[in-house]
Amino acid sequence: MVKNLLDGDPIETREWLDAFASLLAASGPDRARFVAEQLFEAALQAGVALAGVEGATGHLLQTPCRNTIPPSAEPDYPGDLALEARIEAINRWNAMVMVLRAKKSAGGVGGHLSSYASIATLYEVGMNHFFRAGSADSPGDMIYFQGHSAEGNYARAFLEGRLIREQLEKFRQETDGQGLSSYPHPWLMPDFWQFATVSLGLGPLQAIYQARFLKYLENRGLLAPSDRKVWVFAGDGEMDEVESVGALTVASREKLNNIIYVVNCNLQRLDGLVRGNGQIIQELEGVFRGAGWHVIKVLWDSHWDVLFEQDKTGRLVVRLSEILDGQLQHASVHGGAAMRELLSADDAELQALLSNYSDEDLARLGRGAHDPVKVYAAYQAAVQQEGPVVILAQGIKGHGVSSAEGRNIAHNQLEMSTDELKAFCERFGLALSDEQLQGPDYYLPDTNDPALQYLQERRKALNGWLPARSVPQNLSMPAVLPLSAFESVLKGSGERTASTTMVFSRILNILLKDGALGKHIVPIFSDEVRTFGMETLFRQIGIYSPSGQQYIPEDRDQLVYYHESTDGQLLEEGITEAGCMASFIAAATSSSVHHLPMIPFFTYYSMFGFQRVGDLIWAAGDMRARGFLIGATAGRTTLEGEGLQHQDGSSLLIASTFPTCRAYDPAFGYEMAVLIRKGLSDMVEQQKDVFYYITAMNEKYVQPPMPEDVEEGICRGMYLVREGREEGQKAQRVQLLGSGAILREVLAAADLLQQDFGVVADVWSVTSFGELRREGESALRARRFGKETGMPWIEVCLSGRAGPVIAATDYVRALPDLVRPYIGQSYTVLGTDGFGRSDTREKLRRFFEVDRFNIVIAALHALSEENGTVVTTDTVREAVKKYHVDADAPNPWDV
Ligand SMILES: Cc1ncc(C[n+]2csc(CCOP(=O)(O)OP(=O)(O)O)c2C)c(N)n1
């Protein structure tokens, strides 16, 4: 940190400033800026360190520790401050009571008292003056509320009459229905919550891409230009999450004038201070300014105004910039005398400055985040900004929650004594009965109470309630094409070979060209379009760039040149799977957020999906996302040379744990076409809140034509792809299950079994072990409770089929193991557990023991353990020898 200096010669300083003021007046801001930059440059050249730019040229990244907007520039407050204070006080009270009562009645369900206490004014000013709900003309502003301040949203909704007492009583008690969810969960409260934010960092990241997606829709002509805003409320601790800061330059690069970050800088997180030995606000200012954001600091409340005015030399501001957050917290907790000591210490000038202030006066010097006048000024400036804006609002964690206020334990505080509740009421001017205090009980004033009337009026003027989520009843959905539209895929590839990724590319093309659906498709990539061989999209639909293409691409003379355009349809996000997921979510929830259905296809290296950005995918499910995740280069042995970090053997297993995800591992192009068609039907025609995860491989082979009557099986999880031919009465039989990349090994194994050992194999393509499991478990549950139930699909398929069952996939064994409970026969699973490594497909499949030969060996071994079998352990040994399998090779997953 560069040392802050005191003004050693105020008269000289004044002369410089006056000179600058007259330059500005006479020559205008451009000239003034030029001269100022020359001065900075000269200082840097001379080795003079400037705050925030040590060793680097550029703008000052940090400004002094005072409010960005001086009192002279504050607009008149347009509301009734007294009534707003009363509304806020009631909300504070009810939020607190809800948590305390839940603790009393339901013990350990928890809640938070302190976070909303610090953010309340920031919400209230927005609710009374800025946040616009949807109307007939516009779907309204998009507000990402701080997840663990949900208590405040519920308290306000109670005051507004949207929630009733019985619901507050069921805060965090949801299983009997009608409860209030702990945090913003659209899945649980679909009419109330719009965005899932409680996994820290995901709200800020989503908000930036949401703001960007709104511009995308407008630039593509799908939505009329609007002044809708995206507001996101984050904690200062939350800013440590890489997701919170990782996409800041997206906003500045794309000149987003519709995003407003509000950071609730109460200086604390869960365990203690965010930066005890530093200054989190100054640090964040540097980060945001460095990323090209406009920063508005709201540090101090109106009580400080006079003091700053009296501080003629700026000594107080210098002192404030030296104070560590840990020191400020200490003084705040320990009262006015401690504050005096901190501010003036042994500095005579500051002591003199504070001499007219009593300790009580000093204790009253508050923080900007709790002063509606300061907050309003900041919001008003923010909505007028031409680029992205952040408001760094300094508050106190647990403001008003007496024993917790500003203390390290604030986050986990869940109790308040009657005396503390009384003190709270006194402080916020709430006149409550003893009964209400003792309860403590909720406070709902009479409907004639001016505060309630005011609140209703304000929300009416801003179009209605927030938060709110809605999908219009009459939302017009595009028609979904019939399966026959994919004829070119369904008929197979003839003599030519193609990978399922190439097939996907063709399917996507058919969708993009469809008159009804085409414009609703949002292809999203994380810098791998060429890897997947889909670069024709560049030219065909254009890469979205709000500034068009201001250069001549070097490949302009090529058919598939790199074409950026303002109305481009392709979201080429650069190398950010998290950013892509945020775009995916924005598109996949567009029906509720923009009242316009969009269908994203995010195609990525499958290893960098569920494993890397799984939490965002989880949030997408919570937000009722509809779209397609295409896990390309999927599988642990299909990718050849790429090795340990790239080869995916687990995404399908993880996907099976995501409630609204339908995960599939197709082997053939026609399976993929059927699945995408089914997904569209689910999401668009039937309006189900599900998303599909489909793997796509880069191994090329002949794509067979679609057999008859397999559609249902493909969608439900398995179908018979080849019936074994019985030759002779005594032939032994096995059931082979294969998936995706390994299905062709399974088919080859069936040939070998027949050819070399006279064993007959029925081969099943299992498109989804996860779906088979989902159905199987539902059936088992129904049986357990004595309910009528149909047979699960896997039982339907395997009933009457003789022989042991062997499954092989390119994924960990736990994936095919998902269906073990529904298989009556012996069941052997082969898979690719352990770390991947680089080599050829053939060698990798041998290494992981999922190649055709190992499948044959597993089938023979399973048969050898059956009663009355003619296959013996000698047969198995013979096969091991015949196929040169090294029985002494180390176990690949035994590490
Ligand atoms: C990804 C993630 N990690 C951990 C948590 C648990 N958690 C909830 S609130 C919190 C502290 C938040 O501090 P801050 O962002 O400063 O917000 P404040 O409550 O101080 O306003 C933590 C760690 C979480 N919700 N999400």
Q: How far is CA 557 from the centre of its chain?
A: 39
Q: How far is CA 529 from the centre of its chain?
A: 23
Six token digits for residue 654: 């993880």
pLDDT at 346: 87
pLDDT(1) > 60: no
Contact of 132 with 105, CB cutoff 8 Å: no
CA dist., res. 644 & res. 30, Å (int):
55
Contact of 97 with 420, CB cutoff 8 Å: no
Q: In angstroms, what is the span from residue 200 Cα to ligand 1's centroid? A: 6
Q: In angstroms, what is the span from residue 271 Cα to ligand 1's centroid? A: 10
Q: In angstroms, what is the span from residue 103 Cα to ligand 1's centroid? A: 20
pLDDT tens figures, 748-786: 999 999 999 999 999 999 999 999 999 999 999 999 999
Q: In angstroms, what is the span from residue 59 Cα to ligand 1's centroid? A: 32
Q: Which atom of ligand 1 is nearest to the CA of 198?
A: 25
pLDDT tens figures, 141-179: 999 999 999 999 999 999 999 999 999 999 999 999 989
Q: Whose CA is nearest to atom 13 of ligand 1?
A: 269
Lining residues, ligand 1, CB within 6 Å: 115, 118, 148, 198-200, 235-238, 264, 266, 268-270, 274, 397, 411
Q: Which atom of ligand 1 is nearest to the CA of 148?
A: 9
Q: How far is CA 788 from CA 428, 707, 775, 784, 791, in A?
A: 59, 33, 14, 10, 10
Q: In angstroms, what is the span from residue 270 Cα to ligand 1's centroid? A: 6
The mean predicted confidence, pLDDT, of the chain is 95
Contacts of 195 (CB under 8 A, 6+ apart): 142, 143, 144, 145, 184, 186, 203, 206, 623
Smallest CA-to-CA distance from 548 within 219, 110, 194 is with 219
Q: How far is CA 181 from CA 130, 168, 185, 377, in A?
A: 26, 10, 7, 33
Q: Which atom of ligand 1 is nearest to the CA of 202?
A: 1
What percentage of the chain has pLDDT greater than the value 70?
Answer: 98
Q: How far is CA 170 from CA 101, 167, 385, 445, in A?
A: 9, 5, 41, 21
Sign of CA dihedral 541, 542, 547, 549: negative
pLDDT(53) > 80: no
Contact of 519 with 488, CB cutoff 8 Å: no
Q: In angstroms, what is the span from residue 149 Cα to ligand 1's centroid? A: 10
pLDDT tens figures, 55-74: 443 347 899 999 999 999 99
Q: In angstroms, what is the span from residue 392 Cα to ligand 1's centroid? A: 17
Side-chain-facing half-sphere of 139: CA atoms under 13 Å: 22
Q: Whose CA is nearest to atom 7 of ligand 1?
A: 270
Contact of 865 with 826, CB cutoff 8 Å: yes
CA dist., res. 439 & res. 94, Å (int):
12
CA dist., res. 389 & res. 68, Å (int):
13
Q: How far is CA 315 from CA 11, 350, 843, in A?
A: 15, 7, 73
pLDDT tens figures, 429-449: 999 999 999 999 999 999 999
CA dist., res. 579 & res. 227, Å (int):
23
pTM of this structure:
0.95
Contact of 748 with 761, CB cutoff 8 Å: no
Six token digits for residue 370: 């709790």
pLDDT tens figures, 839-858: 999 999 999 999 999 999 99
pLDDT(730) > 80: no
